Amino acid sequence: MTFTDRNLTKKRPDSLKDFSLPRRESYFPSSADWRNEVLYFLLPDRFSDGQEDKRPLLNRQQLNQARPNLPNGQSWRFDKWAESGGDRWQGGTLKGLESKLDYLNQLGVTTIWVGPIFQQRGHLDTYHGYGIQDFLEVDPRFGTRQDLVSLVNKAHSKGLRIILDIIFNHSGCNWIYAPGTPGGEWEPPYTSGWYQFGSWLGDRGQPIAGQPQTDPEGVWPIELQEPDCYTRAGKGDLGRGELDDPNAEFRRSDFITLRDFQLDYPHLLDNLARCYKYWIALTDCDGFRIDTLKHVTYDQARNFCGAIKEFAANLGKSDFFLVGEIAGGDYNEDRYLDVVGQNLNAALDIGEMRGNLNQVAKGLMDPRAYFNGFDPGNAVMGSHRNLGRRHVSILDDHDHVFGEKIRFSSEAASDHQVIAGVALQLFTLGIPCIYAGTEQALAGPEPSERKWLPDWKGSDRYLREAMFGPSHPRQSGVAGLQAIDENLPGFGPFGTAGAHCFDPNHPVYVRLAAMAALRKKFPVLRLGRQYLRPTAIPFLNLPFGDRGLSGEIIGWSRVLDDEEAVCVLNSHGTDDRGARVLVDANLNPVGSSMTVILNTAQVGNPGYRGAHHVGSTVAVQRQDDIAYVEIQPIPASEFLILTNYP
């Protein structure tokens, strides 16, 4: 009998001593090279409940049809929609996610990063999952441990991998400080010392006497029920302190109502690692995204990641994927990657590069602002050969720690302009990660209605529309474990309720699927060296030169041995653009040509009559000692790839 079989037949363990971890069993193998993967990130509460067949597909030309009247004769109100999205569980489940594996597979996704699924405090509306109450149980709103195992097994049967989102820096708000604590029992101000522990909290957030006895009380497993497991330093400044200071304030202070762990407490780090080893052994998952990695010291990060890597390797997962959330910009990402070394695969590229990617894709910034981040002479994160292994490219995500909290498509020039950003993700160095809804160009309500929304551009909620279009959210608190709230509309896409947006014919979905399929077919597009190419624009009398023009053609090459793939993006949001793009003269001798292997304008419009159809060739021309291809005008925000080895 396997570890999974033994443990699914009984209640989740109360203690870490209640199970023996396996070794050298048969588990799903790791990716040979994570640069070959295309990640897709979702919050399970906001993705699917598996009931989309009972709801219509959203008609985006008639959004008001999906804005129903509210109870008691109230007409639709956007502030109620926003309230629903900010504070309530919407009802997405693991079974719902499992029902969408074909949708993701056909999109070209290869690895699904699932937001935290661990049990939260029942009385809090922490739908995002980052405030854990039980580290060994699945939140009942999402389903069961069996549902999670089933999801991973079904994903593996379809050639997909699953990454779980984990937290070892903090727990949820499972206890309060002692009565009389300066500033109160819930969120006292930061102290460089420590406050007295007060009481564990019960199922509804009430203080209880003594140790937790039932599953909803306190925190589980029992090893986490020692008060000295926690810093008890109060609420501080998440940015205060130096990165190299192991006692920096941001490393030992509670965030909102979370509770920071004192990771130097004897055996605590090992116990937390054992919690997550349990999930690897139980589910056969393929990696972890590690939350708030910046908020632990280098030694703690290295030791935790090393313990996870070694355990997974002994199961046969030779490169269990670990990617860290490291806030604070490119320097911080680079520092952790260097110090933690091979124990950490990559960092999420959520610093300056995400904002530059957004602006370059929209034609609003010099493309060198993005591509210089890969240059061996300029890049903080290393050479073009190893950079691709070290960072996960992010265009949109669930919180946007840098910049405005709106999706790319919220201020896009067209329904498919986001493809320009995704093209840069898929075909430049790194491991691309698509955020749920990007393939449907989710954008929030139309601009004319945003005046009704509280804190537009400043709240995470507008990054978290529920794709499955619930009619209503769950009720607040413990009641939400069973019942919905019919007084609020569901937080559906584009400011609607009751209609889903899983549309495989959407212009972005269709283009993205074609790009992902081509990326899978050609190793040069995943593994090749990268060069931003000079362009010349005869129409403007601009010769080849080392310049950066926003809103014009951007050309770059990926080179693998003798193969060159030239990527060409029209970064203008509304107008056609063409240019001459330099190519490698040695790889493309006199008389040669390059073949078009992708044209997203043609993919999005089978009746396309413009230039550069797939299969057509473009002659490699000579000017002095350089070689180039002449790119005829292509439509706004569309993308081409040409290669010398089609």
What was the pLDDT predicted at 540? 82
For residue 107, CA distances in Å to 57, 103, 161, 507 come to 18, 6, 14, 12
- As a whole number of angstroms, the longest Cα–Cα distance in the chain is 84
- Establish if 494 belongs to a structural domain: yes
Please give the sequence-ordered ranges of beta strands (E in DSSP) within 204-302, or none if there are none.
259-260, 287-290
Q: Which two tokens stand for residue 244?
A: 């190299």
pLDDT (average), residues 532-548: 85
Q: What tens digit of pLDDT does each residue of 414-440 get?
A: 999 999 999 999 999 999 999 999 999
* pLDDT at 624 > cutoff 80: yes
Do 551 and 490 belong together in one domain?
A: no
Q: Identify residue 379 by its one-letter amino acid code.
A: A
Dump the DSSP string for 586-618: TTS-TT-EEEEEEEHHHHH-TT--SS--TT-EE
Residue where a domain terminates, one of 450, 482, 511: 511
pLDDT (average), residues 8-30: 95
Higher pLDDT, 31 or 604: 31
User: Bridge partners of 599?
Assistant: 640
With 0-12 CB in 10 A as exposed, 13-18 as middle and 19+ as buried, what is 615?
Answer: exposed
Do 27 and 118 belong together in one domain?
A: yes
Task: Output DSSP code: residue 209.
Answer: S
- Establish if 399 belongs to a structural domain: yes
Do 484 and 537 belong together in one domain?
A: no
Dump the DSSP string for 323-387: EE---S-HHHHHHHHHHHGGG--EEEE-SHHHHHHHHHHTT-S-THHHHGGG-TTT-TT--TTTH
Do 13 and 54 belong together in one domain?
A: yes
Beta strand pairing status for 346-349 and 321-324? Answer: parallel
Q: What tens digit of pLDDT does each residue of 271-281 get?
A: 999 999 999 99
Higher pLDDT, 278 or 403: 278
pLDDT (average), residues 191-210: 97
Q: Which positions ≥6 away from 288 have C-beta within 8 Å?
A: 163, 164, 165, 166, 276, 308, 320, 321, 322, 323
pLDDT band at 177, cuts 50/70/90?
very high
What was the pLDDT predicted at 381? 45
Task: Output DSSP code: residue 117.
Answer: -
- Establish if 164 belongs to a structural domain: yes
* pLDDT at 384 > cutoff 60: no
- Establish if 483 belongs to a structural domain: yes
Please give the sequence-ordered ranges of beta strands (E in DSSP) within 205-360, or none if there are none.
259-260, 287-290, 321-324, 346-349
Find the CATH number of the domain harbouring 426: 3.20.20.80
pLDDT band at 546, cuts 50/70/90?
low
Which residue has tokens 């911080």? 332
Give the other-Cβ count within 10 Å of 22's Cβ: 18
* CA 619/CA 628 separation, integer angstroms: 9
Q: Report the domain count for the chain.
A: 2
* CA 594/CA 46 separation, integer angstroms: 44
What was the pLDDT predicted at 483? 96
Q: What tens digit of pLDDT does each residue of 230-243 get?
A: 999 999 998 899 98
pLDDT (average), residues 399-410: 91
Nearest to 85 by CA among 139, 142, 43, 132: 43
pLDDT band at 72, cuts 50/70/90?
confident
Do 546 and 484 belong together in one domain?
A: no
Do 546 and 488 belong together in one domain?
A: no
What was the pLDDT predicted at 376? 55
Higher pLDDT, 539 or 148: 148
pLDDT (average), residues 436-464: 97
Do 541 and 504 belong together in one domain?
A: no
- Establish if 521 belongs to a structural domain: no
Do 602 and 487 belong together in one domain?
A: no
* pLDDT at 338 > cutoff 90: no
Do 492 and 536 belong together in one domain?
A: no
Find the CATH number of the domain harbouring 638: 2.60.40.1180
Do 354 and 491 belong together in one domain?
A: yes
Q: Which positions ≥6 away from 244 have C-beta within 8 Å?
A: none
Do 449 and 573 belong together in one domain?
A: no
Q: What tens digit of pLDDT does each residue of 90-119 get?
A: 999 999 999 999 999 999 999 999 999 999
What was the pLDDT predicted at 382? 47
Q: Which positions ≥6 away from 622 have C-beta within 8 Å?
A: 585, 590
pLDDT (average), residues 151-159: 98
Give the other-Cβ count within 10 Å of 80's Cβ: 16
Domain containing 97: what range? 3-173+259-511
Quote the pTM value: 0.97
- Establish if 245 belongs to a structural domain: no
* pLDDT at 380 > cutoff 70: no
Taking all residues of the chain, what is their mean pLDDT, rounded to a whole number? 95
- Establish if 205 belongs to a structural domain: no
pLDDT (average), residues 200-212: 97
Helix (H) / strand (E) element for 581: namely strand 577-583
Which residue has tokens 């890597």? 309
* pLDDT at 387 > cutoff 80: no
Do 639 and 505 belong together in one domain?
A: no
Degrees, nearest 5: CA angle 126-131-134: 110
pLDDT (average), residues 48-68: 97
Q: Which two tokens stand for residue 398?
A: 């669930």
- Establish if 612 belongs to a structural domain: yes
* pLDDT at 332 > cutoff 90: no
pLDDT band at 309, cuts 50/70/90?
very high
Q: What tens digit of pLDDT does each residue of 275-302 get?
A: 999 999 999 999 999 999 999 999 999 9
* CA 54/CA 545 separation, integer angstroms: 57
Q: What tens digit of pLDDT does each residue of 257-271 get?
A: 899 999 999 999 999
